[in-house]
Structure 1
Amino acid sequence: MSDNDDIERKRRDHIKDSFHSLRDSVPALQGEKQSIKQASRAQILDKATEYIQYMRRKNHTHQQDIDDLKRQNALLEQQVRALEKVKGSTQLQASYSSPDSSLYTNPKGSTVSAFDGGSDSSSESEPEEPRKKLRVEPS
């Protein structure tokens, strides 16, 4: 056997091993190595292409969910800061008011009770976004 034949055999073995590795990486083909009718190379490439496209779509959907959650998180953090600011200023105003008074004016100019923590449930500047349901796809 010549060196060229040996090199060619190693090349074919490498391609064969690579196809087996690809077949074993695609969920739809994972049981194929024990079956009587093994998947052809064309079938392996077709199924691998389908799986890559499916995973790209799934990844895109997950990225959209991550972006939505980041926006929701930023909005909630902004609301927390606004509430902490209102709470701090209402506590300051309450300390200057007479002990008999249970009503005072918050920074927005609304009269609020000292017993409600100064929360103003209507927010003109920031409309609340409805919560999105996460899309769940079978794995």
Structure 2
Amino acid sequence: MRTARRKARVAECSHVEATESTRCRPIGTHLSETADKRAHHNALERKRRDHIKDSFHSLRDSVPALQGEKQSTKQASRAQILDKATEYIQYMRRKNHTHQQDIDDLRRQNALLEQQAVRALEKVKGSAQLQASYSSSDSSLYTNPKGSAVSAFDGGSDSSSESEAEEPPNRKKLRVEAS
């Protein structure tokens, strides 16, 4: 029964195209829709290819080893761009890892120096209190050959400001081994 109806529909639509999904349409309309769909698809595909091309150009310009390639007559292929970009990313990862290790070492070094400074301040504070308690008696102070006062508690060091200026210690990077 269906086939009979379809044949009847096709017969009555002789000047137009008849399909199962549509009733009678002019023949040119279907071809026009197909051409529009194809043109739309082609435009989308062209836009996609242009985006990929622009992305490769941006990637090429971001990799230092390829930055001069845009002016040269021989441009890098997409495979070369990807290879160089991969190498550069790996190089930067190694460099960042090294820098992070240096930062960690410097943090440990700073912590050690802060501990040493605190201990030194506590030692100075303790010895200053000790000297203050003994300085009231004259027996703890002696006079050196230069005529300045020397404490019996400081190991005979010269307490005058005329003493030679000490050279600052050389700074060395301390390597702290993780325990």
Give the TM-score of the pair, scaled to structure 2.
0.54
Offset, 1:132: 6.1
2:56 aligned counterpart, secondary structure: helix
| Structure 2 CA distance for aligned equivalents of residues 103 and 46 of structure 1 | 77
| Structure 2 CA distance for aligned equivalents of residues 13 and 105 of structure 1 | 90
| Structure 2 CA distance for aligned equivalents of residues 97 and 7 of structure 1 | 93
Give the paired residue count: 137
> Could you give the per-residue CA deviations for residues 35-60 of structure 1, whole angstroms, max 9, x where no partner exists?
00000000000000000000000000
2:150 aligned counterpart, secondary structure: strand
> Could you give the per-residue CA deviations for residues 84-137 of structure 1, whole angstroms, max 9, x where no partner exists?
4542553355245534254899999999967859999999999999x7659999
Distance verdict in 2 for CA 1:62–1:136, change over 3 Å: farther
Q: Is the 8 A contact 1:90 1:106 kept in 2?
A: no
Offset, 1:34: 0.5
Alignment of 1:1-139 (within 5 A): 2-79=39-116, 80-84=118-122, 86-88=124-126, 90-91=128-129, 94-95=132-133, 97-100=135-138, 102=140
Q: Is the 8 A contact 1:86 1:118 kept in 2?
A: no
Distance verdict in 2 for CA 1:5–1:106, change over 3 Å: farther
Offset, 1:20: 0.2
- Paired-residue identity, %: 91
Distance verdict in 2 for CA 1:75–1:114, change over 3 Å: farther
| Structure 2 CA distance for aligned equivalents of residues 32 and 138 of structure 1 | 46
Q: Is the 8 A contact 2:105 2:175 kept in 1?
A: no
Q: CA RMSD in A?
A: 9.4
Which structure 1 residue ranges, 5 or more long, are not aligned? none
Give the TM-score of the pair, scaled to structure 1.
0.68
Distance verdict in 2 for CA 1:98–1:47, change over 3 Å: same
> Could you give the per-residue CA deviations for residues 62-95 of structure 1, whole angstroms, max 9, x where no partner exists?
0010001001111111113542454255335524
Which structure 2 residue ranges, 5 or more long, are not aligned? 1-38
| Structure 2 CA distance for aligned equivalents of residues 53 and 90 of structure 1 | 56
| Structure 1 CA distance for aligned equivalents of residues 86 and 148 of structure 2 | 61
